[in-house]
Amino acid sequence: MGRLEGKVAVITGGAGGIGIAAAKRFVAEGAKVLLVDLDEQALVEASNEVGSNVSAYCVADVSKKADTDRYVEQAVSVFGGVDIYLANAGIEGAVTPFLEQTETMFDKVMAVNVKGVWLGVQSMFPAMQARGGGSIIITSSVAGIKGASLLAPYVTSKHAVVGLMRSAALAGAEHNIRVNTVHPSPVETRMMRSLEAGMMPDDLEAAHDMMSASIPLGRYADPTDIANMMLFLASDEGAFMTGGVYMADGGSSAR
């Protein structure tokens, strides 16, 4: 028996690097997964990579309530319910000096990274109550506990979901719904390629090396490194973990 045998997981940002890695780990432990993202072709490819016999997908904008309700309803309709919700969708915004950051970019980052999580958690509660409980895992960042002036909207959003998580954990406790955040350092994904280009557009390799050197373990995380933490929190091994901030940052927060 796998650690998630018979469980159903919904993963937003499901066509991204961490989303796919988490889906693979969850499926390997017996779960079925619904992948949620904006790009249908990317979702088709992700579902095929994860295993189309154990996954489905839904094209949705996580910042819209109607889309959020629809992907929850699809998970219940296709798989019979939801036990695990990985609120993983997120955008980085632009790498820009603090005083040049725009209201438009701030609103966009907050809509996806905070409102999207809030809508998802609210919509998931009734579905999880119907199953006797569940595990909600929110992807924050090492930026959720530190500052970065060039990424203030992103940093703000990743701090905000910690407060959301703690509030939801208190609300969910009586229903056996656990809520936690996972905080990666840089991960080998599309987002970091974008951030590297924003920091040093003329020398991406130097940007990668500089960021790697800032991490005590001396490297970016592989998406599976993050997925392993998420698997623990999703499984019954994490049954007493709720309201927690879990670092997966190669020692970055120790500095």
| pLDDT by residue, tens only, the chain of 255 residues | 799 999 999 999 999 999 999 999 999 999 999 999 999 999 999 999 999 999 999 999 999 999 999 999 999 999 999 999 999 999 998 889 999 999 999 999 999 999 999 999 999 999 999 999 999 999 999 999 999 999 999 999 999 999 999 999 999 999 999 999 999 999 987 777 887 887 788 888 888 888 888 999 999 889 999 999 999 999 999 999 999 999 999 999 998
pLDDT of residue 197: 85
What integer pLDDT is reported at residue 12 of this predicted model? 98
| Structure token pair of residue 49 | 């990579």
Tokens representing 214 are 């800032």
Task: Give the residue range(s) of CATH 3.40.50.720 domains in the chain.
Answer: 8-184+223-242
- In terms of Cα–Cα distance, which of 63, 50, 127, 130 is closest to 91? 63
pLDDT (0 to 100) of residue 191: 78
Q: What is the pLDDT of residue 150?
A: 92
Structure tokens at 165: 């998580």
Identify the active-site residue in 85, 154, 220, 246: 154
- Which residue, 232, 236, 36, is CA-closest to 123? 36
Contacting residues for 11 by C-beta, under 8 A, at least 6 apart: 19, 22, 23, 26, 33, 34, 35, 36, 86, 88
The CATH classification of domain 8-184+223-242, taken from the options 3.30.2350.10, 3.30.70.360, 3.40.50.720, 3.40.50.10470? 3.40.50.720
Q: Report the distance separating Cα 28 and Cα 9, nearest Å.
A: 12
Active site residue 154: yes
- At residue 209, the pLDDT reads 85
Element housing 179 (H / E): strand 177-184
Residue 6 burial class via C-beta count within 10 angstroms: exposed 0-12, middle 13-18, buried 19 and up: exposed
Give the model's pLDDT for residue 194: 80
How distant, in Å, are the alpha carbons of 35, 69, 111, 245 from that of 85?
11, 13, 19, 16
pLDDT for the residue 207: 82
Q: How far, in Å, CA of 164 to CA of 140, rounded? A: 11
pLDDT at 147: 95
pLDDT (0 to 100) of residue 210: 85
Q: Using CA atoms, how far apart are residues 37 and 96, in angstroms rounded to an integer? A: 26
Residue pair 64/40 in contact by the 8 Å Cβ criterion: no
